[in-house]
Amino acid sequence: MSALSNHRFLKMNGLGNEITVLDLRGSLHVVSSAEARAIAADSRSRFDQLMVLHDPVSPGTDAYLRIYNTDGTESGACGNGTRCVAWAMLADPIMSRPVHEGLVLETKAGLLPVTRVSDTVFTVDMGPPRLSWNEIPLRDPYPDTRAIAVDTHIPEHPELQSPSAVGMGNPHAIFWVENAQAYDLTAVGPKFEHDPVFPERANISFAEVVSPDHVVLRVWERGAGATRACGSAACATLVAGARKGLTGRKAKISLPGGDLLIEWRESDDHVLMTGETQLEHEGFFVPALFAGAA
């Protein structure tokens, strides 16, 4: 029987980005790719990202997070999911413990300090953007210009060329377009996600600048497909927009699921993301879910 059988989970969302939160603190179990896919396949626990809490690793942190996409692959960052985890650690009657309000979470990509703005609104310090080609990562060296633009295109859309590339603990490519609604994400997204220029694949964004402090964004997520919101993509977009002179260092990023406020702080180069979280329901994994999943 899987260690996850009968285990409690929370189904949440961050602006419609579907998040399942699982608390494995106190356990040595590491969710396998097959277990993550099985959890994603069930309608009660369906997710774009599965956020798994483990015991803290580095001194001064409150939990270590493993983040899984729908396809079972792991990511170093998920902004919307991090806000959901913070809510669970502070407000869920079972997951919350008497911790201080200023949480510090850790992922394989680094530290994520979180502060609570109101009951359901949190700010995540997503850290500094990664702008060199080997940190994003890209296949080939690119000079660090005002906005790194990578050479990728698909024949069906000759206008979609040279997206900005930014790492936010995960790889992002941003196309600057006149109308973000004009693209069929399911047709175009996977082609760019798997472009060999991105050795670890990439999250693909279509960004429409409304004004220097407002961008409309649609995102095809690596390993999860079209989602209603992607926090790290919103951060990457603001950074790339500011470097290109299209936006200021603070902007509202409007996604299909709602708005995120993003600030690229001048004093320490960190990117701050503020937005809502919502609890949908709690549940328990039925043992049959993991039949055949190692």
Ligand X SMILES: N[C@@H](CCC[C@H](N)C(=O)O)C(=O)O
Under the rule (CB under 6 A), what is the footprint of ligand X?
A: 17, 48-49, 69, 75, 77-80, 170, 203, 221-224, 227, 230-232
Q: State yes or no: 254 annotated in a binding site.
A: no
Query: What residues contact 154, with CB distance under 8 A and at least 6 apart?
Result: 160, 188, 191, 192
Q: Which of 19, 38, 78, 209 is the catalytic position?
A: 78
Of residues 2 and 239, the one with the C-beta less far from ligand X = 239
Tokens of residue 124, six digits: 């995540």
Residue 188 DSSP SS3:
helix
Query: What residues contact 108, with CB distance under 8 A and at least 6 apart?
Result: 66, 74, 76
Of residues 18 and 23, the one with the C-beta less far from ligand X = 18
Closest approach of ligand X to the CB of residue 155, in Å: 26
Known active-site residue 84? no
Closest approach of ligand X to the CB of residue 238, in Å: 13
Q: State yes or no: 179 annotated in a binding site.
A: no
The DSSP 8-state label assigned to residue 154 in this structure reads: B
Closest approach of ligand X to the CB of residue 232, in Å: 3
Q: State yes or no: 134 annotated in a binding site.
A: no
Q: State yes or no: 232 annotated in a binding site.
A: yes
Of residues 152 and 170, the one with the C-beta less far from ligand X = 170
Closest approach of ligand X to the CB of residue 112, in Å: 11
Q: State yes or no: 80 annotated in a binding site.
A: yes
**CA angle (262, 271, 23) in 5-degree steps:** 95
Q: Which residue has the tokens 């047709």?
A: 187
Q: How far apart are CA 220 and CA 243, in angstroms?
A: 22
- The most distant pair of C-alpha atoms in the chain lies apart, rounded to whole Å, by 56
Q: Which of 36, 88, 180, 230 is the catalytic position?
A: 230
CA nearest to 47, candidates 63, 68, 23: 68
Of residues 54 and 201, the one with the C-beta less far from ligand X = 201
Of residues 209 and 224, the one with the C-beta less far from ligand X = 224
Q: How far apart are CA 275 and CA 229, in angstroms?
A: 11
Dihedral sign for Cα atoms in the order 166, 171, 176, 179: negative
b or e along 252-270 (b: 16 or more beta carbons within 10 Å of the residue's beta carbon)? bbbbbbbbbbbbbeeeeeb
Q: How far apart are CA 131 and CA 101, in angstroms?
A: 31
Tokens of residue 2, six digits: 């899987």
Closest approach of ligand X to the CB of residue 161, in Å: 22
Let me know: does 169 contact 129? Beta carbons within 8 Å.
no
Closest approach of ligand X to the CB of residue 290, in Å: 23
Of residues 79 and 241, the one with the C-beta less far from ligand X = 79
Q: Where in the sequence numbering do the catalytic residues fall?
A: 78, 230
Binding site feature residues? 17, 49, 69, 79-80, 170, 203, 221-222, 231-232
Binding site feature residues for substrate? 17, 49, 69, 79-80, 170, 203, 221-222, 231-232
